[in-house]
């Protein structure tokens, strides 16, 4: 139904407009936060949930020009924001795989009936001639279609020399620096080659693909020195290579000792962490012989290294330690795993590894103890604790310890109050408990906000939770009583525009002053866009005269900022010369 709009907001265009990071964020939104989609051939609209619900729209005008709008801050500035990108992605949601990664192959339409009839009428000799002719015209066809007489079946093989040269050419020489703008095209060429190698693995050429993928990985390591990788393309390429390499090894079953030697080299000598702890995922392929060789090589490397004093992630002992952790996981040696992980101050992520290993060995009580230890680890980030907490809650629920599971979730909320941690805790409460528990936790936050000085983080948490719950007036009252941060104030101002336009104007004016004081053109543009928003609020209050006085004062105060004044004139906000 949205075919026409989709053609104007193609997947490649979305990537080109927003960049890789925004695209990742858009994909997360696409999965979870798009509601009330209304679509026609020329227009699609939806509610996209961010800090607030935003109305987002894509359409094609009468002059066949693509247009977009969103009520979020970036949308107000006329930008193609992550919410627009997320909505645009829904136009292509029938794709078999996400945009990020290797370039997607165009869907092949079914051949016309007359072509099918014609091909079916051809003799074997005529078909062979057509295939051979295609292979002379198309390098990929030439590389991938070969008749394997020994097995009597069609088997895809690779011209290894040709593929190796293609991979080398795709990465380019060290002397060629890849800047930010050129990086996506450079990366997508490489990702396309990796995707072709993945197809070749499935077609029966796993053995040939292993060496080619290892060559590509070596080139990826070198490429870190000559590319602006702000969008994380290197990590993506290395991850795709690692996935394809494991898959190829599982198919081809290379010699265990040789594979172990190469994996140890990648793990100890390369900065990329694609093969860090490789003994675990490759355990089945390596077998006892390969794991034994892996362990021998790591012990030899450990004997050659002095006591590490740097503790850095790229230091030899750091890499050796993670190799030992991989071996312990591969062999199911939990005691050795704990020994390795406790040689340094532990993080919740380390405890999660131990918890998972203990659960696999059906040592549930010990797993629970280690989970609690990880949650209480000092100086750990909430993002690291969250996954461990979820694992522990799952274990407790499976064991029937519902009260303890709720206690863990309550501790999570109290250590890091957020809309998400509140929802998780309340979801574990009974219907009878839920309302009272919610009220008690909000009162607890209010009490904390009233006593914190300075930097009222609890006030921010309280306001953010109330906004997420749709209690806009309560959020404004909390921010007025206890204060709130600059970023949250911006969100709050937009949220109260309908219910409290005068208060929204005052909050927007504070932000306008801050933007102008930064004295950067981009901030001038944002201030001008916000001024236009404030004008609409004054008009909604039937206070055009007050708007004229206000904007005149802004222009007079900042008349020396010629760039800012020029932007105001260009947007018809002021006629001051």
Question: What band does 70 get if pLDDT is binned at 50, 70 and 90?
Answer: confident
* Average of per-residue pLDDT across 384-394: 92
Dihedral angle sign, alpha carbons of residues 22, 24, 26, 28? negative
Check residue 71 and give its pLDDT.
Answer: 81
Report the percent of the chain where pLDDT is more than 70: 81
In the block, tokens 């007079």 appear at 556
**Angle of CA points 235, 236, 238, to nearest 5°:** 65
Residue 153's pLDDT band (cuts 50, 70, 90)? very low
Q: Write the DSSP assignment of 254-295 as a string of letters.
A: --HHHHHHHHHHHHHH-SS-TTTTTTTTTHHHHHHHHHHHHH
Say if residues 74 and 84 touch (Cβ distance below 8 Å).
no
* Whole-number average pLDDT of the chain: 84
CA 22-24-27 angle, to 5 degrees, is: 110
Residue 138 scores a pLDDT above 90: no
Query: In the prediction, which pLDDT does 117 show?
Result: 64
pLDDT value at residue 102: 30
**pLDDT(214) > 80:** yes
Neighbours of 242 (CB within 10 A): 20
Q: How far apart are CA 390 and CA 385, in angstroms?
A: 9
- Residue 567 has what pLDDT? 92
**What pLDDT score does 154 carry?**
38
The one-character DSSP state at 399 is H
Binning pLDDT at 50, 70 and 90, where does residue 371 land?
very high
What value does the mean pLDDT take over residues 420-437? 92
272 contacts 236 by C-beta, under 8 angstroms: no
Q: Which pLDDT does position 487 carry in this prediction? A: 80
Which contacts of 456-464 are long-range, i.e. CB under 8 A and separated by 24 or more positions? 456/482, 456/483, 456/484, 458/417, 458/482, 459/483, 459/484, 460/484, 460/485, 460/488, 461/417, 461/418, 462/417, 463/488, 463/492, 464/418, 464/419, 464/488
pLDDT value, residue 458 = 87
CA–CA dist 223, 250 (Å, integer): 27
151 vs 234, which has greater pLDDT? Answer: 234
Predicted confidence at residue 555, as pLDDT, reads 92
pLDDT at 33 (0 to 100): 73
157 vs 353 pLDDT, higher one = 353
Across 24-38, 159-173, 342-356, least confident range: 24-38
Q: Is the pLDDT of residue 124 over 90?
A: no
Q: pLDDT category, 30, cuts 50, 70, 90?
A: low
- Banded pLDDT at 223 (limits 50, 70, 90): very high
Among 9-13, 52-56, 76-80, 327-331, top mean pLDDT goes to: 327-331
pLDDT in tens, 463-489: 999 998 889 999 999 999 998 888 888
Please give the pLDDT value at position 535: 94
Give phi and psi for 453, each to the nearest 5. Answer: -150, 135
Q: What is the mean pLDDT of residues 244-254?
A: 96
Higher pLDDT, 231 or 534: 534
Alpha helices (runs of H) in 53-112, residue ranges in sequence order: 73-76, 82-90
* Beta pairing class for 66-70 and 53-60: antiparallel
How many of the other CB atoms lie within 10 Å of CB of 571? 13
| DSSP assignments along 470-483, one per residue | T-HHHHHHHHHHH-
Strands (E), 11-132: 34-39, 43-49, 53-60, 66-70
**Residue pLDDT, tens place only, 267-310:** 999 999 999 999 999 999 999 999 999 999 999 999 988 655 45
pLDDT per residue as tens digits for the range 169-205: 999 887 789 998 889 889 988 988 898 898 889 888 9
- What does the pLDDT read at residue 97? 34
- pLDDT at position 36 is 80
pLDDT (0 to 100) of residue 98: 37
Please return the burial class of 398, using the count of CB atoms within 10 Å of its CB with bins 0-12, 13-18 and 19+: exposed
């Amino acid at each position: 139904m949205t075919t026409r709009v989709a053609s104007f907001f193609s997947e490649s265009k979305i990537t080109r407009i927003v960049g890789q990071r925004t695209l990742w964020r858009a994909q997360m939104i696409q999965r979870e936060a798009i509601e009330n989609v209304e679509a026609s051939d020329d227009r699609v609209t939806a509610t996209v949930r961010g800090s607030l619900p935003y109305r987002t729209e894509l359409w094609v005008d009468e002059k066949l020009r693509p247009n977009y709008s969103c009520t979020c801050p970036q949308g107000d500035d006329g930008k193609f924001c992550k919410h627009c990108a997320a909505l645009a992605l829904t136009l292509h949601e029938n794709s078999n795989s996400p945009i990020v990664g290797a370039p997607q192959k165009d869907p092949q339409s079914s051949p016309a009936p007359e072509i099918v009839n014609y091909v079916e009428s051809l003799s074997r000799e005529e078909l062979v001639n057509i295939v051979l002719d295609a292979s002379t015209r198309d390098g990929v066809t030439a590389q991938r279609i070969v008749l394997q007489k020994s097995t009597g079946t069609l088997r895809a093989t690779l011209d290894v020399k040709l593929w190796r040269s293609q991979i080398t050419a795709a990465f380019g020489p060290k002397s060629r620096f890849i800047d930010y703008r050129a990086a996506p095209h450079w990366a997508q060429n490489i990702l396309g080659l990796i995707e072709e190698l993945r197809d070749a693995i499935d077609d029966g050429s796993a053995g040939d693909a292993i060496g080619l993928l290892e060559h590509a990985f070596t080139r990826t390591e070198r490429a870190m020195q000559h590319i602006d990788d702000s969008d994380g393309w290197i990590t993506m390429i290395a991850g795709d290579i690692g996935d394809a390499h494991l898959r190829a090894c599982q198919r081809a079953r290379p010699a265990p000792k040789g594979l172990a030697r190469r994996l140890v080299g990648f793990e100890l000598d390369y900065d990329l962490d694609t093969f860090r702890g490789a003994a675990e995922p490759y355990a089945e392929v390596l077998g006892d012989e390969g794991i034994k060789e892996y362990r021998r090589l790591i012990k030899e490397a450990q004997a050659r290294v002095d006591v590490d004093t740097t503790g850095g992630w790229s230091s030899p002992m750091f890499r050796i330690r993670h190799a030992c952790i991989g071996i312990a996981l591969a062999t199911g040696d939990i005691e050795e795993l704990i020994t390795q992980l406790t040689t340094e101050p532990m993080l919740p992520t380390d405890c999660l590894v131990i918890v998972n290993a203990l659960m696999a060995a059906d040592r549930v009580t010990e797993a629970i103890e280690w989970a609690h230890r990880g949650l209480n680890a000092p100086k750990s980030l909430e993002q690291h604790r969250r996954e461990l907490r979820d694992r522990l809650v799952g274990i407790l629920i499976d064991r029937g310890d519902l009260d303890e599971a709720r206690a863990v979730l309550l501790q999570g909320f109290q250590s890091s109050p957020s809309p998400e941690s509140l929802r998780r805790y309340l979801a574990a409460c009974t219907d009878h408990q839920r309302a009272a528990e919610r009220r008690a936790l909000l009162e607890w936050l209010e009490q904390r906000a009233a006593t914190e000085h300075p930097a009222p983080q609890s006030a921010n948490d309280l306001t953010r939770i109330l906004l997420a719950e749709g209690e806009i007036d309560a959020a404004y009252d909390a921010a007025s009583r206890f204060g709130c941060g600059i970023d949250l104030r911006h969100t709050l101002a937009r949220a109260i525009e309908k219910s409290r336009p005068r208060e929204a104007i005052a909050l927007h004016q504070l932000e306008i002053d801050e933007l102008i004081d930064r004295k950067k053109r981009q901030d001038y543009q944002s201030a001008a866009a916000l001024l236009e928003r404030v004008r609409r609020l004054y008009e909604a209050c039937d206070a055009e005269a007050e708007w004229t006085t206000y904007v005149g004062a802004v222009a007079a105060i900042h008349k020396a900022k010629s760039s800012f004044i020029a932007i105001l004139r260009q947007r018809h906000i002021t006629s001051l010369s």
